[in-house]
Amino acid sequence: MRTQVGIIGAGPAGLLLAHLLHLAGIDSVVVEARDRGYVEQRVRAGVLEHPTAELLREVGVGARMDAEGLPHHGLVLRFDGADHRMPLTELTGKTITVYGQQEVVKDLIARRLADEGQILFASTDVRPHDLTSDQPRITFTDAAGKPQELRCDVVAGCDGFHGVSRRSIPADRIQAYERLYPFAWLGILAKTPPSHEELIYAYHERGFALHSMRSPELTRLYLQVAPTESLADWPDSRVWDELHARLELAGSEFSLREGPVVDRLLAGMRSFVVEPMRYGRLFLAGDAAHIVPPTGAKGMNLAVADVRLLARALTVFLSGGGSALIDDYSRACLRRVWRAEHFSWWMTSMLHAFPDDDRFGRRLQLSQLRYVVESEAAGRSMAENYVGLPYEF
């Protein structure tokens, strides 16, 4: 097989990149290890920044998002036994949209197939080769068990943190920066209407909790837990008891609604960035290049920002317009990546209970929370980072 851009990974990054390239007249093939059913059902992020939602509309894949997504004009910080609303739209003029990552993926797959683009699902043993040449290739075994080779001009590694793309780069040609956090998130998806119309970030002495949602009928809830725990340690009854303890407010009308748990996950938390995001003709995008703790709701949004830049750079390069944009790709992406890394670290550090924290550390967290909600300047800074900074280029 032959194409211009071989894309490894059919997550939001890979699929959106393929769509953007298609709109620009650039051919691509997406190679994905999982089958279509798995890709469309895996539950991940759910908050779209304002620039992300705008881009999806601009490129013709935002209709269902606008019909079914939930626009939000604020969020709640719950601490000191009270709610403190952050008026995102009032402070920034922008909104966020709650719309599940798997829904974005479904929309992109449907559009890709309608455009007669190729997505090679259930492709195993995927390997990129000859990345420093002008004719890289990707080998894999297709869904029928037949060995295949895809020759291309460029390879886009959009296959996530555990994918093969980043691991194909020699260790001495890339620098990794990482911070591990001493806790994990336990998340459930419950078949019950949300208990509040907005997201609630709860700071509690027992640990952080988050009330979110995926639709008017589905609620997403998270608990901070020890990184050594397993899902078996947390039967549904224990999860609900802990959510009640961390989210309930004395004297408040808030009441946590319970319902059947339809999905559960346990995820460790880390910050991770590699520099540069390019090796020869291999370009990394999304989680293949960087990970943020989910507190700041930046993961999928960073992936979208990456491929927006990458699509433009590759279009110019493959159309004979020179290599200036692809040469600048890593630097341009990393400016936004590091800003999002800092914001996500800041939110995480402010809201979580640290195992070795003393009373002094907790007082510092509460002081920061109070400043954010009492100072218009501090609140605006948080709000503009949360809703998404404008694209620079």
Q: Which of 348, 364, 379 is where one domain is finished? A: 348
Taking only the tens place, the pLDDT of each residue in 44-73 is: 778 999 999 999 999 999 999 999 999 999
Q: Which of 317, 332, 348 is where one domain is finished? A: 348
More reliable by pLDDT, 172 or 356: 172
Do 275 and 334 have their domain in common? yes
Residue 377 lies in a domain: yes
Do 150 and 25 have their domain in common? yes
Q: How many CA atoms lie within 13 A of 341 on its CB side?
A: 20
Instruction: Say whether pLDDT at 393 is over 90.
Output: no
Residue 91 lies in a domain: no
Residue 114 lies in a domain: yes
- Amino acid letter, residue 108: L
Catalytic residues: 72, 201, 294, 298, 386
CATH number reported for the structural domain that contains residue 110 in this entry: 3.50.50.60
Do 277 and 378 have their domain in common? no
CATH number reported for the structural domain that contains residue 231 in this entry: 3.30.9.10
Do 247 and 367 have their domain in common? yes
Residue 89 lies in a domain: no
State the pLDDT at residue 199: 97
Residue 230 lies in a domain: yes
Determine if the peptide bond prior to 276 is cis (ω within 30°).
Answer: yes
DSSP 34: S
Q: Token pair 């989910």 is at which residue?
A: 294
Do 157 and 189 have their domain in common? no
What's the predicted TM-score (pTM) here? 0.96
Q: Which of 318, 333, 348 is where one domain is finished? A: 348
The helix/strand/coil state of 43 is coil
The boundaries of the domain holding residue 106 are: 5-72+96-178+270-348
Do 252 and 330 have their domain in common? no
- What's the domain count of the chain? 2
Closest CA to 120 of 39, 17, 29: 29
Do 27 and 115 have their domain in common? yes
Do 335 and 381 have their domain in common? no
Residue 234 lies in a domain: yes
Instruction: Say whether pLDDT at 357 is over 80.
Output: no
What's the token pair of residue 108?
Answer: 């992109």
What's the token pair of residue 118?
Answer: 């190729």
Taking only the tens place, the pLDDT of each residue in 222-247 is: 999 999 999 999 999 999 999 999 99
Do 121 and 10 have their domain in common? yes
260-286 exposure pattern, b = at least 16 Cβ within 10 A, e = fewer: ebeeeebeebebbbbbbbbbbbbbbbb
State the pLDDT at residue 195: 96
Do 116 and 170 have their domain in common? yes
* Rounded (5°) CA angle 93-97-98: 150
Residue 196 lies in a domain: yes
Residue 191 lies in a domain: yes
Q: Cα–Cα distance between 337 and 291 in angstroms, integer?
A: 9
Banded pLDDT at 250 (limits 50, 70, 90): confident
State the pLDDT at residue 379: 98
Do 66 and 200 have their domain in common? no
Do 230 and 286 have their domain in common? no
Mean of pLDDT values over 174-182: 97
Taking only the tens place, the pLDDT of each residue in 264-309 is: 999 999 999 999 999 999 999 999 999 999 999 999 999 999 999 9
State the pLDDT at residue 241: 97
State the chain's mean pLDDT as an integer.
96
Contact 136, 280 (CB under 8 A): yes
- Amino acid letter, residue 51: P
